[in-house]
A and B are shown apart, each in its own frame.
Chain A
Amino acid sequence: MRSDLEIIDEWVQPNIRVLDLACGPGELLHHLIKNKQVNGYGLEIGHDDLNTCIEKGIPVLEQNIDEGLQNFDDQSFDLVLMTHALQQFRRPDLLIDEMLRIGKECIITFPNFGHWRSRMHLALKGRMPVSDFLPYNWYDTPNIHFFTFQDFERLCEEKNIKVLRWAAVDGQLKDHWWIRSMPNLFSETAIFHISR
């Protein structure tokens, strides 16, 4: 399992109700169902990913998150997850509100655009960064919002969202002291555990 997923795993309590938004092939959910006995569901629209989840026996629902999550009741899940997907939705701010309406707590991971390599790329080359981690051109990227570790912290402040804990990892998804000391500059992936 990817180590950002390992970090999330440590944060998740056993036997809770979990909703994983844009769950992909269900790697994290599979792990949480097996090892933490969670009552978990994934939302996904990718046909191959849906099939992979069904194949593994992971409950998965075909639902387009951009079309709304009104079908889920207030506080009906203990935890709502979203890994590496927030930047792909139309209104991340409204989506976070929805996640905190449905879930008592949320864990969100996203690529930190404030990483020094992205900054260098834009500053020196004058072009939008393309890296192993974000391997898309500006015109074909599914990532329609770029934001940094600090941008996310600021949004939480503005919305009075509590940050229960956070972690920051590099391209190899490893945790190092220098990343921890300057996450906005050194983290490639940011992980936030939040609640109202």
Chain B
Amino acid sequence: MPDVIPADSIGIVTPQIAQFDTPLTLSCGQTLSSYELVYETYGTLNKAASNAILICHALSGDHHAAGYHSMSDKKPGWWDSAIGPGKAIDTNHFFVIALNNLGGCCGSTGPTSINPETGKRWEASFPIVTVEDWVESQARLADLLGIQTFAAIVGGSLGGMQVLEWSIRFPTRLQSAVIVASAPKLSTQNIAFNEVARQSIRRDPDFFDGNYLENSSVPTNGLGLARMLGHITYLSDDAMGAKFGRQMRHDSYQYNYGIEFEVESYLRYQGEAFTKRFDANTYMLMTKALDYFDPAAQTNGDLAAVLSRAQCEFLLVSFTTDWRFSPERSEEIVNALVKAGKQVSYAKIEAAEGHDAFLFPIPRYMSVLNTFLTRVANRLTTEVK
């Protein structure tokens, strides 16, 4: 809990809900007749509505990206280290919007919401949503907030895929794109990891084919396992080694299946904590959205060809020890953008934290991000003059 709100924090923030009654036809063919998106905003929208930045969240993120909901909050929003007055994404210059994506479990319409047609929770019947669907719904949120063109759209990991999709689908609606620790599509190994995560949830006897809430149940074992697996892939071997090594719980081996090594305890804790805040159906949806994303499929696998539609400037960032979305994956996007003749800069940041690095305030990472966005902000000022 913050005794006092830090000076560089955006402070206390209140989520808002946007209601949409225009039906949204999804990639899967199903239509949502109405839906809600929960979002937060930080900073002030200028008169020209030209200083907005959209933050796209990753697998387990939400709309609470910065600041505190109350003085009793233990932690600020998930990207508070980067968003705030004077921070890399400077709320003195920008109007920052963060939302919870469709299919989420933090306030936007998703599997735990009530289906208006049945009066019951959607649960397993909630349609699978894709990155394209998210971008479409984010554009509608932008319309509602009176934002025609974003100064920048920013996202890491799965969030970066949304940014990439924005640049292709709505080329005139963003001036710059910041894509961090992402990929143009998942590797086979990534899809394989996702499948293990899904199977661990689906094979949990408490899953009830996805209708667990109706059965007053929660597949905590399966979801916890999925998170444990995910967690291993988000960290680097070195980071885990440095944090835990072979540190043991007891002075000597116990020769049983209790906790022997600290890393086991850590993973169990992470798995269990996650089940208290996250919905299993949402987790599965998010992994499917990752698997399906492949914008180059529409141009026979030619990424440069599909990116030729883009008009914005790009900044790509990767981290040296990230093996879930390795630097080579970011470089695929960079090379395609160069081939297509687009404005792109790329930084490969030395970091020990693996894929998770995109959430850490690593000084050089923050400096690159800030340098890029300061230029975006300066250009806005010049245009207004």
Q: Is the CB–CB distance between B346 and A61 below 8 Å?
A: yes
Q: Is the CB–CB distance between B368 and A61 below 8 Å?
A: no
Chain A residue nearest to B344 (CB atoms) is A59
Tell whether B60 is near chain A: CB-to-CB under 8 Å. Answer: no
Most interface-central of B331, B345, B346, B371 (chain A CB within 10 A) = B345
| Contact residues in B for A39 (Cβ distance below 8 Å) | 341
Pick the interface stretch among A47-55, A113-121, A129-137, A144-152: A47-55
| Contact residues in B for A54 (Cβ distance below 8 Å) | 315, 345, 347, 368, 371-372, 375
Q: Is the CB–CB distance between B375 and A59 below 8 Å?
A: no
Q: Is the CB–CB distance between A55 and B346 below 8 Å?
A: no
Chain A residue nearest to B369 (CB atoms) is A54
Q: Which of B313, B338, B339, B371 contacts A61 (CB 8 A)?
A: B338
| Contact residues in B for A158 (Cβ distance below 8 Å) | none
Chain B residue nearest to A43 (CB atoms) is B346
Tell whether B75 is near chain A: CB-to-CB under 8 Å. Answer: no
- How far, in whole Å, are A73 and B339 apart by their CA atoms in the complex? 8
B299-323 to A contact mask, C-beta < 8 Å, 1/0: 0000000000000010100000000
Most interface-central of A39, A50, A76 (chain B CB within 10 A) = A50
Q: What's the nearest-Cβ distance from chain A to residue B286, in Å?
A: 30
Tell whether B348 is near chain A: CB-to-CB under 8 Å. Answer: yes
A41 in contact with B347 given A51-B368, A54-B368 (CB within 8 Å):
no
- How far, in whole Å, are A71 and B334 apart by their CA atoms in the complex? 10
Q: Is the CB–CB distance between B348 and A62 below 8 Å?
A: yes
Q: Is the CB–CB distance between A76 and B339 below 8 Å?
A: yes
Tell whether A17 is near chain B: CB-to-CB under 8 Å. Answer: yes
A6-25 to B contact mask, C-beta < 8 Å, 1/0: 00000000000100000000
Please report the total number of B residues contacting A with Cβ < 8 Å: 21
Q: Which of B84-99 contact A (CB under 8 A)?
A: none
Chain A residue nearest to B316 (CB atoms) is A61
| Contact residues in B for A76 (Cβ distance below 8 Å) | 339
- How far, in whole Å, are A54 and B373 apart by their CA atoms in the complex? 10
Q: What's the nearest-Cβ distance from chain A to residue B165, in Å?
A: 22
Q: Is the CB–CB distance between B367 and A59 below 8 Å?
A: no
Tell whether B120 is near chain A: CB-to-CB under 8 Å. Answer: no
Q: Which of A47, A59, A71, A73 contacts B345 (CB 8 A)?
A: A59
Q: What's the nearest-Cβ distance from chain A to residue B88, in Å?
A: 13
Tell whether A60 is near chain B: CB-to-CB under 8 Å. Answer: yes
- Of the four ranges (under 10, 10 to 19, 20 to 34, 35 or more), the interface on chain A belongs to 20 to 34
| Contact residues in A for B367 (Cβ distance below 8 Å) | 51
Q: Is the CB–CB distance between B347 and A50 below 8 Å?
A: yes
| Contact residues in B for A61 (Cβ distance below 8 Å) | 334, 338, 344-346
- How far, in whole Å, are A78 and B331 apart by their CA atoms in the complex? 22
Tell whether A126 is near chain B: CB-to-CB under 8 Å. Answer: no
- How far, in whole Å, are A60 and B314 apart by their CA atoms in the complex? 11
Q: What's the nearest-Cβ distance from chain B to residue A34, in Å?
A: 14
Q: Is the CB–CB distance between A17 and B371 below 8 Å?
A: no
Q: Which of A61-85 contact B (CB under 8 A)?
A: 61-63, 71-73, 76
Q: What's the nearest-Cβ distance from chain A to residue B324, in Å?
A: 20
Chain B residue nearest to A42 (CB atoms) is B345
| Contact residues in B for A55 (Cβ distance below 8 Å) | 371, 374-375
| Contact residues in A for B371 (Cβ distance below 8 Å) | 51, 54-55
Q: What's the nearest-Cβ distance from chain A to residue B205, in Å?
A: 49
Tell whether B46 is near chain A: CB-to-CB under 8 Å. Answer: no
Q: What's the nearest-Cβ distance from chain A to residue B113, in Å?
A: 42
Q: Which of B331, B334, B341 contacts A17 (CB 8 A)?
A: B341
Q: What's the nearest-Cβ distance from chain B to residue A70, in Å?
A: 10
Q: Is the CB–CB distance between A71 and B347 below 8 Å?
A: no
- How far, in whole Å, are A47 and B247 apart by their CA atoms in the complex? 36
Q: Which of B338-385 contact A (CB under 8 A)?
A: 338-339, 341, 343-348, 364, 367-368, 371-372, 374-375
Chain B residue nearest to A64 (CB atoms) is B348
Tell whether B265 is near chain A: CB-to-CB under 8 Å. Answer: no
| Contact residues in B for A63 (Cβ distance below 8 Å) | 346
| Contact residues in B for A17 (Cβ distance below 8 Å) | 341
Q: What's the nearest-Cβ distance from chain A to residue B349, in Å?
A: 9
14 extra interface residue pairs, beta carbon distance < 8 Å, beyond A54-B315, A61-B344: A50-B345, A53-B345, A54-B345, A55-B374, A57-B313, A57-B343, A57-B375, A58-B345, A59-B344, A59-B345, A61-B345, A71-B331, A71-B335, A73-B339
Give me the interface of A with B, judged by CB distance under 8 Å: 17, 39, 41, 47, 50-51, 53-55, 57-63, 71-73, 76
Top 4 A-B pairs, shortest CB-CB distance:
A61-B346, A62-B348, A54-B371, A71-B335
